[in-house]
Structure 1
Amino acid sequence: MRDLVVCLLAAASVVAAAPLAAQAWSGPESGIRDPNGHPFRTPSGSPLEPVHRLALLSATRDSRRDGIALADIGDRLGFWIRRDPDGEVEFAGAIHGGAFSRFDLGGPDQALIEVHYRIGVLLRARFGEVAARAELYHVSSHLGDEFLLDTGTRPISTSREGMELMLQGSPASGLTVYGGPGVLLRATPDFEPLSLRAGAAWESAPGARARFHASIDYVGWAELEWKPAVAAELGAALGQGTRVGLLLGFGPSRAEQFFRQSERLVGVSVSHVR
């Protein structure tokens, strides 16, 4: 656990120190660009997005309450961008990936409970004041060895590939909204193929002495009869892309191995996204 936390913080510090390639964008399209100036800002409040995150949480399932830690490592690499001479249309390619880990804080050794991986190829675009992102992704999950030995739980394979399309806009300064459908191309075991994701994020104006942020994210799966999985964050910015605040969640578990179980999460989160 200590080694993973050290790695997470080290990775965040390296990313934070890297020079940004962004220009000083202004206007409505500034809300739909990432810090590197590429179209479609990463919805960092969504539990599906690969970002650097460390969270200490209370997780409640039925009447049982456990202390858990989330330790996520994720990033993206833009490898191509093309803009038309008038600047109204642009296209960009990227890849992203991450590992999403959950640890048991109630046990004597803080054992790994579950880890899942997501890797995706992204095609991002901007048409005037609207951005779009198409992602072809792979997800797979695994239970921790000590958790299996201690509980006798049988692992469930949730390996799958899918495609997701989302649109994004910035209707007001500091506010970003996004949403769109997804479809599974292959899954083990067989899942109902359709999904939907939507959300909104707000950040106070740059340059202020204190900067705040708030976000909410919804994910619904046909497999779970569209039961909402909701994640929300509220807090302050510590620097370029680094945030600390309160994390809330309810609905189907964000742990892939337990996605059919409902849970409520509340705690403190520190995250970094480029």
Structure 2
Amino acid sequence: GRATAVSMEPSRRSRGDEGRKRKLEASNRKGSPVGSDLDFKALLDQHSEQMRRMQSQIDGLVAIKSTLQARLDGQAESQAQEVNELREKCEVLEARCSSLERSIQVLRKDVNWTYSAPDIPRSHWIEQGRDEEYAHNMEECLGRIKQDVEDIRKGENIYCRCLDYYDQMAILPDDALLPHFKELADAIQLSNGIGEISIDNIELHPSALGILFPAMEGRLKGIDMGRIRFPGPDVVKCYEIIAASIGRNHGLERLLME
């Protein structure tokens, strides 16, 4: 019979198998989808660990910074306290030096002390427009100042009331009184300290305050100021003199003001 021709081409089935085989080999060469997921997760874990370490380092640096800042704040506070203490000590020493200087000045001129403030005659007050009652009251006022000055000069620790006119006729300002205020101030300045001074129902000008209050610094334990009046134009200056003097009077224990 007729010879049958044999085809040399591969069958369709064989060609399909070979195609699938090639795709599988290519897929294996590129890496399977499951393998890619595992590699990505490992990479994320690695980055997460690096971030955790970096955050830990940052937290450590923040803690160190806080510690250093706390130390600096503590040192600054301690230094500020030391500065304030030194400033207070300097103020005390300055006040003492000023007081000693005033004492030396008084001693130089008071080697043989006598009460040298001039008498003020009754006629002076009448000429100023005051009445006889006021003139008589001023005579008593000057006598009280002189008595307290002499007692302080003797070293007595008195309660100085010569400027206290509570429930009495008010004392009005007059330059003739300044030498008597100076005698009182000098006596207080040279004393070892007196208990207290009371000033009440009197009008004082800056000139009188400038004589009396510096002498009180470091010499009085108590100051009682009642109805002290100041002239209108000089009110601020008067309070400044008193406030500055009280601020320098570091031995003051009692202060009363009405």
TM-score (structure 2 length as normaliser): 0.23
**Structure 1 or 2: more helix by fraction:** 2
RCO comparison, higher one (Cα < 8 Å, 6+):
1
**Structure 1 or 2: more strand by fraction:** 1
TM-score (structure 1 length as normaliser): 0.22
Q: Larger C-alpha radius of gyration, 1 or 2?
A: 2
